[in-house]
Amino acid sequence: MTHSTPTILLSNDLQGIREYAATRTKNSMTVLFCMEGAIDVEVNHRMVRVAANDLYVRLPALDVDFGVYSHSSDFRFHQLTIHESLFDQLMVHHFRSEPRWWEKQDFIKQNPVIHLTESGVRLCHAYFEILAIHMSEQQTDYRLQIEQSICIAASMEVLNYLDGALYMSPNAHKAVNQSDYIFHEFMRLMQLNPYEREVQWHAAKLGITPKYLSEASKARSGKSASEWIAFVTVAELKKHLRHSSLPVNEIAKKMRFPNASFFCQYTKKHTGLTPNQIRKQKHV
């Protein structure tokens, strides 16, 4: 059985795994919940076993290849794939409340299999069941919004688990190096000042050069400072366009763009779409 929308794929048959393994897309979050049996998958050239009551998690934008796999005859599972555009909505909200989420990306890249507690198993069954019910009904704008909200809630369950896993990790209480500290403070600055778009502004606040900030950011996260600023800016402008009725010129003013024309140019450059095209995409 497979259900899908423009941003969500829910499956409990092997075709869903085959599609995912074939595309190996970097633009999605995938969660595979093993209910019975086991599956062995190659993740970045190492074999990983996902057994009963385990969760396999892959976050977007991580350089993680999902390769060959084999499974037991009694293997039963649910798989949820969330497109990057929907995951971005979650990260914007989570980023505002806790700027450590990049650590969770690092952790899940090295530890993609989560063994669930009894309550975690019950929650997984509940999330997948209610999502399957909604996705089997006739699709409306309300249904799409509800389904996306369920996916965001399920994703936050995973991130909540990672809070505890990080705290218990052997590396949790080690002293951070200079790059870690700079990157953490850069994340905090963007959290508090999402409309500041100049690398030089952030570097001055941190008392370092723009080059050093970008090098530290690249070393710690794989993205330069300017790439992170663009990521946050795009997420903010999409939020305003999709979830408010403010005119474009008012959004541009709110986000401290010089004018609506510059705002439109920035949006087109970084998304490939005009503000009006983004505004029409209520479902992503």
The pLDDT value given to residue 65 = 56
Question: Is-same-fold flag (2-84+100-168; 178-280)?
Answer: no
Are β-strands 54-58 and 38-43 bridged in parallel, bridged antiparallel, or unpaired? unpaired
CATH class of the 178-280 domain in this structure: mainly alpha
40-96 tens-digit pLDDT: 988 777 888 999 999 998 876 555 555 667 899 999 999 998 887 777 666 666 655
The pLDDT value given to residue 165 = 73
- CATH (residue range 2-84+100-168): 2.60.120.280
Q: Between 39 and 58, name the one with better pLDDT.
A: 39
The pLDDT value given to residue 45 = 77
Cα distances (angstroms) measured from residue 255 to each of 196, 239, 248, 262: 9, 12, 11, 11
The tokens describing 99, both together, are 């700027």
138-194 tens-digit pLDDT: 888 888 889 988 988 888 888 788 777 766 665 554 545 677 788 878 988 888 898
> Considering the entire predicted model, what is its pTM?
0.67
Query: Could you state, in order of their start, the residue ranges of all structural domains in the chain?
Result: 2-84+100-168, 178-280
How wide is the angle at C-alpha 232 spanned by C-alphas 231 and 238, nearest 5°?
A: 90
